[in-house]
A and B are shown apart, each in its own frame.
Chain A
Amino acid sequence: MRKRSKFLTWSAIAGLALLAVLATRCSPKQPQGDRPSASDLADAAKKTYVAPGDLDEYYMFSSGGHSGQVFVYGIPSMRHISTIPVFTPYPGTGYGFDDDTKKMLGGLTWGDAHHPALSETKGEYDGRWLFINEMNGRVARIDLRDFKTKEIFGPAPNVSGNHGSSFVTENSEYTMMASRFSIPIPKGTYAPIDKYASEYKGVLVGVKIDPKTGGMSMGFEILAPPFDFDLGDAGKGPSADWMFWTSYNTERATGQLEVTASQKDRDYIAAVNWKVAEDAAAKGLGDMIGGVRVIDPKKVPGLIYLIPCGKSPHGVDVSPDGKWIIGSGKLQGVTTAFAFDKIQAAIAAKDFAGEEDGIPVLKYESVKVAEVPVGLGPLHTQFGPDGFAYTSLFVDSAIAKWKLGTWEVVDTIPMSYSIGHLAAAEGDSASPDGKYLVGLNKLSNGRHLSVGPSQPESSQLVDITGDKMKLLYDAFTEPEPHYAQIIKADKLHPIEVYPKEENHHPLAIWDIKDAGVTRNGNKVTVKMVAVRSSFSPSSFEVREGDIVTVAITNIEQATDMLHGFGLLDYNLNLVIDPGETKTVTFTAKKGVFPYYCTNFCSALHQEMQGYLLVKPR
């Protein structure tokens, strides 16, 4: 009896104790992922520290997204060195205020810059130009000799929502454009939304690049079904004649696309033989639409093929040797590798599964070589020198490292947070460098000092020298890096002053004796010199209503001797680099208006000022 009651008492105690132990089990306060150890932090610090006065090893050109700019970073320090304004006025360099750049912007004050592309020779970055697209159908060319936007091509006719751009071909023959938001063409045509599947058209564009000057001109336009063409990459080596674009919404749906455009298990990669397109354009094939000839694929066999790729693919990336085409279905857990030789064999054997608007569709099973289980939400792939590929995973918020050929995933590293594109050192060229990889993340979410609701994006530097990827550094970027290009610094040799002998501007003057005002009717031209620490003339007089052109030559030939020309109450600011001449034209309004040097130049910078005097009429 006693024994039993003792047993029961102990049972009760044991029960309570068990309850107490269970009650200590609860959800952790933080995820269980490891913080890097102290030695890793020291290693990361050493690898990213660029001592004062020392230089970075690589340039990174990062798209500025809807800020319409390009940001220049140094790697490995991740220091933001400079901003190159492209599609947006930028008072900091006077871009969009002087006559030439204002004309180049064409009245548009923003552009959604997405994919920078360095010019290539034999698939290698040659360091000459950087091309970058924006959504309103334009591509800009930045000259890497002076890091200035030199040309904006477009808006090109018919192309709408130019996202699948600016990817250049192996020898910079073309930079590309593609419609993400198909419309009835030419622009200005109306068709109701329920006619989307038949009357809306996608357009694929090749913009020809002059091999000497880099100047851009219309190459060809191809009529395509109203898919949402998304991203692209030009072939290399064996696939050099081909351009690849992913597409989603091959359902040709309208409305809430997040559901309606996500029903098919596979969408397409469009493979375009741009040599065939070039020939067709040279023969003048195609109908005139919106002022350009648009080639109908039905009439030009061999021009374009569709490769099924799961599911709503985002990035398509060609391996350094040009043999593999990697398509990443953003709504699945695998990235798909296609073999270029299998694609060619399938085309030769007419091994087609069907067609879309007369465009042959290849059989998935005939051209696919592997589905690589990289993780959830694969977007983009970059390459290393040793056959490794790196795929960004948006949903998993990570990068997966895997091997071409064996298709094995060997490592993953988390990104903070929600990675979009990624850029490896020369990682989309024919010979990637390895070493560094930058994850261009969409969310920075609390990894920086709080700056209120408008949060910066985060760009994270990853060391890819070892078997395991290692996070080195967090940098924060203004909105909004999409793609970036990383080029070895020694490939670029920028000038730091514009040599006097190269300045052929008709209004350039190099001596203050030549400064002055000339009048032709109500048109007034002012030739002005800016040099430490004065403007000549230091004042000038015009009449109300005159059309005034001020041409300012900065006659300095010393590095970093920039002068500004801020004209108060006229909403004008120029910055003139050493050896440069810039003009600005405005209509004079009566009164007296100071102008002054806005870009700090010298000990007597404050004295560098003058007056515009406008007599009433």
Chain B
Amino acid sequence: MTVYEKSARFLHQPVGGGPRALLALAAVLLAVAVMLPLWNLTMFAPQYGHGLRLDIFSHTLVGGNGGQDIKEINLLNHYIGMHSLSVEDFTEFKWMPFAFGALALVFLRAIVLGTVKELTDSVVLFLYFGAFSLWSFGYKLYRYGHDLSPEAPVKVAPFSPPMFGYQKIANFEVYSYPRAGTYVLAVVTLALLAAVWLAWRQRNRKLA
């Protein structure tokens, strides 16, 4: 048997109960992740001892202090010519919840059709989605820190806000960390990888 025949045979094998249960869990967690904040940015300056907070969801931005923090961040940013943060400017907020739903459907499809092929589709599509989202988030941060208006009253050198961890930007301590939604998505990733592993082990048993 050639390696191609082997892999084709494996892909068409039905998966067992374990991987299907993990897929179901992943689909449910995806739905949960839509409700949860994915990332948080918190900024402190001497005059902002309580911090300015920004929570990023898959479908919106939520400022701390009843939304006031976004207004405050935008007021500060206009001095250095940063674009104003507004939900309307992010197409992500339109397609991301849809993508979460679509991926959940792909997972459910894999449960119903039930072969390694559909499981592999689920994993590959999800990993691609996750990697793209992270890149997109990083790129957005970069653009916000680099597309500064040439007419800004205060000129600062272009900068990249941190994606993970702490950074000092002007007089601000800026912290950027994932929040619950992202950890749920990480669990989805683990569940999918575990499903693949179980399917792989099944195959090995059969071959043995």
Q: What chain A residues lie within 8 Å of B178 (beta carbons)?
A: 22-23
Q: Per-position contact with B for A380-424: 1 when CB-CB < 8 Å, else 0?
A: 000000000000000111100000000000000011111000000
Q: What chain B residues lie within 8 Å of A445 (beta carbons)?
A: 47, 49
Give chain B nearest CB distance to A217 CB in angstroms. 40
Taking a contact as CB atoms under 8 Å apart, the answer to whether B177 and A417 are in contact is no
Q: Which chain A residues in 541-595 approach chain B with CB under 8 Å?
A: none
Is A81 interfacial (CB 8 A cutoff)?
no
Is A376 interfacial (CB 8 A cutoff)?
yes
A398 CA / B46 CA spacing, docked (Å): 8
Is B25 interfacial (CB 8 A cutoff)?
no
**Quick one: which of B40, B49, B152 contacts A31, CB cutoff 8 A?**
B49
Contact A414/B177 with A259-B151, A396-B171 known, Cβ cut-off 8 Å: no
Taking a contact as CB atoms under 8 Å apart, the answer to whether B46 and A26 are in contact is no
Taking a contact as CB atoms under 8 Å apart, the answer to whether B153 and A331 are in contact is yes
Q: Is the interface of A mostly helix, strand, loop or mixed?
A: loop
Q: Which chain A residues in 241-299 approach chain B with CB under 8 Å?
A: 258-259, 262-263
Contact A414/B46 with A22-B178, A376-B170, A395-B171 known, Cβ cut-off 8 Å: yes
A5 CA / B179 CA spacing, docked (Å): 32
Taking a contact as CB atoms under 8 Å apart, the answer to whether B171 and A26 are in contact is no
Size bracket of the B interface: 20 to 34
Contact A395/B170 with A15-B190, A16-B190 known, Cβ cut-off 8 Å: yes
Is A520 interfacial (CB 8 A cutoff)?
no
Give chain B nearest CB distance to A455 CB in angstroms. 13
Q: What chain A residues lie within 8 Å of B46 (beta carbons)?
A: 31, 33, 396-398, 414-418
Contact A417/B44 with A15-B190, A32-B173, A395-B171 known, Cβ cut-off 8 Å: no
**Residue in B closest to A375 when the chains form the complex, CB atoms:** B171
Taking a contact as CB atoms under 8 Å apart, the answer to whether B201 and A23 are in contact is no
Is A28 interfacial (CB 8 A cutoff)?
yes
**Quick one: which of B49, B51, B175 contacts A446, CB cutoff 8 A?**
B49
Give chain B nearest CB distance to A438 CB in angstroms. 17
A27 CA / B39 CA spacing, docked (Å): 11
**Residue in A closest to B200 when the chains form the complex, CB atoms:** A8
Taking a contact as CB atoms under 8 Å apart, the answer to whether B40 and A26 are in contact is yes
**Residue in B closest to A395 when the chains form the complex, CB atoms:** B171
Is A513 interfacial (CB 8 A cutoff)?
no
Q: Which chain B residues in 161-186 approach chain A with CB under 8 Å?
A: 165, 170-171, 173, 175-179, 183, 186
A397 CA / B46 CA spacing, docked (Å): 6
A22 CA / B183 CA spacing, docked (Å): 9
Taking a contact as CB atoms under 8 Å apart, the answer to whether B153 and A23 are in contact is no
Residues of B within 8 A of A (CB): 40-42, 44-47, 49-51, 53, 151-155, 165, 170-171, 173, 175-179, 183, 186-187, 190, 194, 197, 201, 204, 208
Question: Can you give 18 A-B contacts (C-beta < 8 A)?
Answer: A1-B204, A5-B201, A8-B197, A19-B190, A26-B40, A27-B40, A27-B41, A27-B176, A28-B175, A31-B45, A33-B46, A258-B153, A259-B153, A331-B154, A395-B170, A418-B46, A418-B47, A445-B49
By Cβ-Cβ distance, the 8 closest A-B pairs, closest first, are: A27-B42, A31-B44, A262-B153, A417-B47, A397-B46, A27-B175, A396-B171, A414-B46
